[in-house]
Structure 1
């Protein structure tokens, strides 16, 4: 493994941890992407959140900056758009139902030693593993 191969993921992980920690310290709230996206879209009782809009803009700007500075990603849609939209809606519903997503529970909740977040993370990781197993070994879907 060359130096550059582990440097970018390490940097990304450190930035995610730093931003989640700063968000908690400065706002007293957990930085979950699904909650911030819902707030940015006005789907919460507080209406449209400027902070949520800024957070999402930062995610988009960071991805753009990484693509410009590091390399251009090769994007290939290999599933039907209808299937991708349905999957996105199901995941979105699940994050609202579970009161959080992988970033809220997996990054922030586990760091705070939250039993609820540990349970949620174990469940969504188990379901993800089962989904891959079923898709690859029972349905024959190749990655």
Structure 2
């Protein structure tokens, strides 16, 4: 498959973003001995979780995510976003992701980036399930004409 199959692909930007995510995860692990799982950091930042990463660091990490995206967008230009016409699918999706995050003891960033790099069996299985679920969802949505 060639890049022409993905006319809006941005491989250089994707590579840079991936390197930055890896660097942030490595800094958290090597500097603080903590996993850079966004769901755990968000829970700690909002006070849902009472243990783990120091709250000030969790808040800085969670605030830095959209702030970094905003700064980059200001530097290189806007990013095209598309949302469904109704907010209901976003709310349902968010609730399902939150439920799955608690059920799986972590999110895609914790398992997929940090856990897989440590060859954690739990993370390898969780990431395989995340990916399979995504493939199945896209196939069903395409079959139903929703994509």
Task: Give the TM-score of the pair, scaled to structure 2.
Answer: 0.87
What is the rounded CA distance, in whole Å, between the counterparts of 2:83 and 2:117 in structure 1?
34
For the pair 1:8 / 2:10, whether they are aligned, the reply is: no
Equivalence map 1:1-143=2 (5 Å): 5-46=10-51, 49-137=55-143, 139-142=144-147
What is the deviation of 1:25?
A: 0.9
CA offsets per residue over residues 76-101 of structure 1, 9 Å max, x none? 32241022111101101111110111
Count residues in correspondence: 138
What is the rounded CA distance, in whole Å, between the counterparts of 2:137 and 2:29 in structure 1?
32
Q: Which runs of 5 or more structure 2 residues have no equivalent in the other structure?
A: 4-9
Q: Which runs of 5 or more structure 1 residues have no equivalent in the other structure?
A: none
What is the rounded CA distance, in whole Å, between the counterparts of 1:114 and 1:46 in structure 2?
22
What is the rounded CA distance, in whole Å, between the counterparts of 1:23 and 1:79 in structure 2?
38
Q: Report the aligned-residue RMSD.
A: 1.7
Aligned to 2:36, what secondary structure does the other structure show?
Answer: coil
Q: Per the alignment, do residues 118 and 79 of structure 1 end up closer, same or farther by CA in structure 2, a change over 3 Å counting? A: farther
